[in-house]
Chains A and B, each alone.
Chain A
């Protein structure tokens, strides 16, 4: 295991030039805030839903390169997807972080390069932050609410 296994070029690209990073979203339906106190990662995710699809999705926050890059890759992978489909994809990513090969590697898009993070157990939570946030945002939306905050245990 080397630093390059963890920090692949695609991951660093997402960290330096994140996609769908913004502090606000027009017509936002749901805002969730997820934080991981151990590392001080903070993530705000805003979701807009139209016709059962993810119509708009932006993230903002502060955290390590893995957490921020993974959130960026996540937005790219789930935008325009049906809500159920996005939830399934989030589960695929979660299992990937626990060592199970992805069943939808193409759909995960750049998310699949985070596979190596599974070998760095302390960083799994960082890579999952964005994906768990989108799952929470969708579930919050489906429950008819508009915001939710989650703090992960150390």
Chain B
């Protein structure tokens, strides 16, 4: 099975647009993916036919909306192999999912003498919450460095774990800058060998959209997901957790929905996952995320991965052969996703982004919310082209054309 990109593209209204008479070439799915008709229809259907609050109405409209909202939870659980639907907490995004754990687990349970281990290739979403928690609690923050081959330094990680003080490991599944797919099983085994009680969180923002993921098989405690990078709407993500972990945790945000009883004297928290969903949740977005899981499963995540692996190989070959282009990231397509960071000699990434925009090509330029990694690379910014199911080899020529035009323009 392969992806018929021409057919896929027809499902994305945004991709039907032209920019200055050129086809819109969208190479920024690592920032946010485009939205297929099925997802738009699912959200529209909520607002047009099932608009009611959830988890509280006794009338049929609300009951059905509630059933569909909970069905979305089951759908996502199945899509990522969550240990149980009760271990799926809807959040605004992966940032909120990670903050939930930072507040309700790490801040509550770790203190001076303990260490949190993260890595130098994390998105700020999986770095700043730990830094902040460390500031507040006296926990030590340790950071696994990156090797010259753009993989994590496993040997250095071993040293950082050696004293057994690391009680929490926060790890990205796939780097949003380098595209590196981290060998989770190996890294987690290393951490558990040093401390069998270590609690593991994986940031899956860049993995779930692009790879088959089975959270239960990974045997991690927490796994963060964001909807808007996996063809879903903005404003919804999820924390996938072992249900027993959630049972042990106090809430993060408090208010409506997340309680069983309230009086002036006492409050009884609701059971997970509702304990962690204070207030009216993202209902339309949950419907949309359900549809996004369907769209991806219809394509087949193995097929999505194979498509991107083939495409990234083509892009890497072409960029590697282009004059003045330096790619930052693993060269082996087996070890990387479709996020390709690069620099062009003599052209600042911001100027490159502007030039490519004039060719109808959308890429991300800047620090990609990964300043520790930018510091390691020794740059302030990079350009990043990223691939998804609606990209194909015909997106390469406009990219190369714009890069070459920028080189000529700024060198003239």
Contact = CB atoms under 8 A, between A and B. Distances in A.
Nearest to B359: A3
A37 B358 contact: no
Contacts of B410: 12, 15, 65
Contacts of B348: 63-65
B384 to A, nearest CB: 13
B350 A63 contact: yes
Nearest to B412: A12
B235 interface: no
Highest count of chain A CB atoms <10 Å: which of B349, B350, B365, B371? B350
A15 B412 CA distance: 12
A6 interface: yes
B193 to A, nearest CB: 38
A3 B380 contact: no
Contacts of A41: 350, 380
A7 B350 CA distance: 13
B101 to A, nearest CB: 25
B409 A40 contact: no
B351 A65 contact: yes
Contacts of A42: 380
B349 to A, nearest CB: 7
Interface string B328-351: 000000000000000000001111
Contacts of A15: 410
Given A39-B366, A42-B380, A126 B358 contact: no
Given A3-B409, A12-B410, A63-B348, A39 B354 contact: no
Nearest to A61: B380
B123 interface: no
Nearest to A65: B351
Nearest to A35: B380
A40 B380 contact: yes
Interface string A17-45: 00000000000000000000111111000
B381 interface: yes
Contacts, number: 47
Nearest to A15: B410
B367 A3 contact: no
Interface residues of A, number: 20
Given A2-B358, A3-B355, A3-B358, A39 B350 contact: yes
Given A7-B409, A12-B410, A62-B380, A40 B354 contact: no
Contacts of A3: 354-355, 358, 409
A123 B354 CA distance: 9
Contact of A126 (B350, B367, B380): B350
Interface string B370-412: 0100100001110000000000000000000000000001101
Contact of A39 (B355, B379, B381, B409): B381
A56 B98 CA distance: 49
Contacts of A38: 366
Given A40-B380, A62-B380, A64-B348, A6 B366 contact: no
Contacts of A64: 348-351
Nearest to A7: B409
Interface in B204-243: none
A41 B349 CA distance: 10
A15 to B, nearest CB: 8
A6 B380 contact: no
A47 to B, nearest CB: 24
Contacts of A123: 350, 354
Interface in A59-83: 62-66
Interface string B351-365: 100110010000001
Highest count of chain B CB atoms <10 Å: which of A3, A6, A42, A120? A3
A126 B365 CA distance: 14
A36 to B, nearest CB: 10
28 contacts: A2-B358, A3-B409, A6-B354, A7-B351, A12-B412, A15-B410, A39-B349, A39-B365, A39-B366, A39-B381, A40-B349, A40-B366, A40-B374, A41-B350, A41-B380, A42-B380, A62-B380, A63-B348, A63-B380, A64-B348, A64-B349, A64-B350, A64-B351, A65-B348, A65-B351, A65-B410, A123-B350, A123-B354
Q: Which 5 interchain pairs have the tightest Cβ spacing?
A: A40-B380, A40-B381, A64-B350, A64-B348, A39-B350
Interface of A: 2-3, 6-7, 12, 15, 37-42, 62-66, 120, 123, 126
Interface of B: 348-351, 354-355, 358, 365-367, 371, 374, 379-381, 409-410, 412
Given A39-B365, A123-B350, 20 more contacts: A3-B355, A3-B358, A6-B354, A7-B409, A12-B410, A38-B366, A39-B349, A39-B350, A39-B381, A40-B349, A40-B366, A40-B367, A40-B380, A41-B350, A41-B380, A63-B348, A64-B349, A64-B350, A64-B351, A120-B354
